[in-house]
Structure 1
Amino acid sequence: MPMQAPDIEALLRETFPNATIEVQGNDGVHMAAMVIDESFRGKNRVQQQRAVYAALKGKMDGPSGELHALALTTKAPD
């Protein structure tokens, strides 16, 4: 079953409770997320995105994953 924006945000919020999180998309398969969190400070983009993928707890793993594509924007707060 495809994931919806509120489901994705809830998973991300478990790992990043104080983050600014915006999830967009309405087809349940191809989504976009922006995560701004202090924990990203000093980490490169790859490290930040790996942290977000880990927070999704395998929902993007393999061809049978519930989430097919997630365009990510990650950064530390200004």
Structure 2
Amino acid sequence: MMNPEQVQALLEAGIEGAQVSVQGGGSRFDIAVVAEAFDGLSRVRRQQLVYGCINASIADGTIHAVTIQTYTPAEWDKAQRMGLA
């Protein structure tokens, strides 16, 4: 089993400069990542970057299910202004 802080640490280590929020516990997590690294990338490619950081934990069954939201800093600011984040 993992806690949100452990998942957050994996993502912050794997995506340079990322701001990460993780909710949940056990083997199910809701993940939000804000990073410049997502600029210009498709939604699929962004999720691939996130999965790349946690794949070992998914493969060994430590993480069973995730919901992922990804934003560039500009998208995050806009989502907050619109009350979506």
TM-score of the pair, normalised by structure 1: 0.86
Give 1:18's aligned residue. Answer: 17
Letter in 2 for 1:7: Q
Deviations 1:1-47 (A, max 9, x none): x1110110010011124111100013x11110100100000001100
Gap runs ≥5 in structure 2:
75-85
Give 1:43's aligned residue. Answer: 41
Letter in 1 for 2:21: E
Q: Work out whether 1:66 is the aligned partner of 2:62.
A: yes
Gap runs ≥5 in structure 1:
none
Q: How many residue pairs get matched?
A: 74
RMSD over aligned Cα, in angstroms? 1.2
Letter in 2 for 1:29: S
> Which ranges of 4 or more aligned residues in structure 1 deviate by more than 6 Å?
none
Aligned partners of 2:14 and 2:20: how far apart in 1?
11
Identity %: 31
The residue matched to 1:25 in structure 2 has which SS?
strand
Give 2:2's aligned residue. Answer: 3
